[in-house]
Amino acid sequence: MTDQFGREISYLRLSVTDLCNLRCAYCMPAEGVAKKRHAEILSVEEIGELVSAAAALGVRKVRLTGGEPLVRRGIVDICKAVAQTQGIIETCMTTNAVLLPDFAAQLRGAGVSRLNISLDTLNPERYCALTRGGDLASALRGIDAAREYGFAPIKINAVLIDGFNTDEIRELASLSRLADTHVRFIELMPIGDSADFSGGKYVSDGAVLRAMPELEPRGSDGVARLYGFPGASGTVGLISPISSHFCPSCNRVRITSDGQLKPCLHSADEISLRGLHGAALLDAMRAGFFGKPRRHALDTGKISAAARNMNAIGG
Ligand code: SAM
Ligand code: SF4
């Protein structure tokens, strides 16, 4: 269906947990998050019902996210339920890759077609510091496992952080020279309890083009402006929620792991879908889709109005 501004809503980002095996400084508080009671989190059956309703309203693509989706108990069953929902033509996942050696084959079998992998640095000490204890080698093994089990193309997402990884822009972008690999640089968004960390570390994506003037324009996919190294088939994308937001072409809505529909990432507005079924669920969802705001108000120097940390939204 279209929203009040004529945008076709076809993409659902579904968070399956707030929990994570890492603690990235821009996403989560250092102490982690309190585990929600089992009853607070959507069950596999509820997820199936929500995705069916979203599909009935025109959603065609679902991305499973979190927190870290692979720490959610029953994640493979969730993937299967989503992928088998009538109307859903693409089921994908965003992950930090650490658990992919255990899960890549099962995800493939469950119908997940594509993986986006978050990786902000190729330096082990920096990785450990930013993720507060993570092991870069584990994430790289996860990326290898994704390739081994046929996930292609793979997208690597890197958040640009001033004074942290701007000297690695070329090295990260060069991953796009590998077969079936695309790299996306994402602007850092000050949000939730981590807004203090992010304040002052924002880097406009123009830094990427200045670091690699040889990049050739390769069009746009609606969200990212695409470039590529001469001769490389992989692309380097710039996702600029702050410097050039893509709200006019935004086709996405979010559902949190506790069943709140969020029509816009950077708004505090949430619509509870919990306990709704049938026509009541469809009506609530339709109202949320329709009322999606024209644009978010996260401009340079501002803090997101979202009333949650990123791990509790799904990015
Ligand atoms: N754990 C998974 C992962 O890291 O890929 C999925 C959830 S994570 C919240 C989804 C995406 O949000 C990641 O690519 C992460 O880098 C991004 N993210 C989290 N906090 C962010 C922030 N403050 N600004 C920009 N991107 C952020
Ligand atoms: Fe976990 Fe992903 Fe947030 Fe990092 S960005 S703390 S991996 S949810």
Atom of ligand 1 nearest to the CA of 15: 7
> How far is ligand 2, taken at its centre, from the CA of residue 163, in Å?
20
Domains along the chain with CATH numbers: 11-313 (3.20.20.70)
- The proportion of the chain whose per-residue pLDDT surpasses 90, expressed as a percent, equals 76
Q: Who wins on pLDDT, 129 or 267?
A: 129
- pLDDT tens for 194-220 read 788 877 888 888 889 999 999 999 999
Query: What's the pTM?
Result: 0.95
Listed in order, strand segments (DSSP E) in the chain are 11-15, 61-65, 90-95, 114-118, 154-160, 181-187, 216-220, 224-228, 236-239, 252-255, 260-262, 271-272
Q: How far is CA 209 from the centre of its chain?
A: 23
Residue 126 has pLDDT above 90, yes or no: yes
* Residue 269: per-residue pLDDT: 87
- pLDDT tens for 164-182 read 999 999 999 999 999 999 9
Please give the angle made by the CA atoms of 167, 156 and 215, to the nearest 5 degrees: 60
Cross-strand partners of 159: 186
Residue 135 has pLDDT above 80, yes or no: yes
DSSP-assigned states of every residue in 134-198: --HHHHHHHHHHHHHTT--SEEEEEEE-TTTTGGGHHHHHGGGGSTTEEEEEEE----GGGHHHH
Which residue's alpha carbon is nearest to atom 17 within ligand 1?
315
For residue 99 and ligand 2, the question of a CB distance below 6 A is answered with no
Average pLDDT in the chain: 92
Instruction: Please state the rounded mean pLDDT for residues 298-305.
Output: 65
Alpha-carbon torsion, ordered 27, 113, 58, 191, to 10 deg: 10
Per the listing, tokens 């994402």 go with 186
CB within 8 A of 173, min separation 6: which ones?
183, 185, 208, 211, 212, 215, 229, 236
Per-residue pLDDT band for 290 (boundaries 50, 70, 90) equals very high
* Residue 244: per-residue pLDDT: 64
Which residue's alpha carbon is nearest to atom 4 within ligand 2?
24
Tokens standing for 54?
């979203």
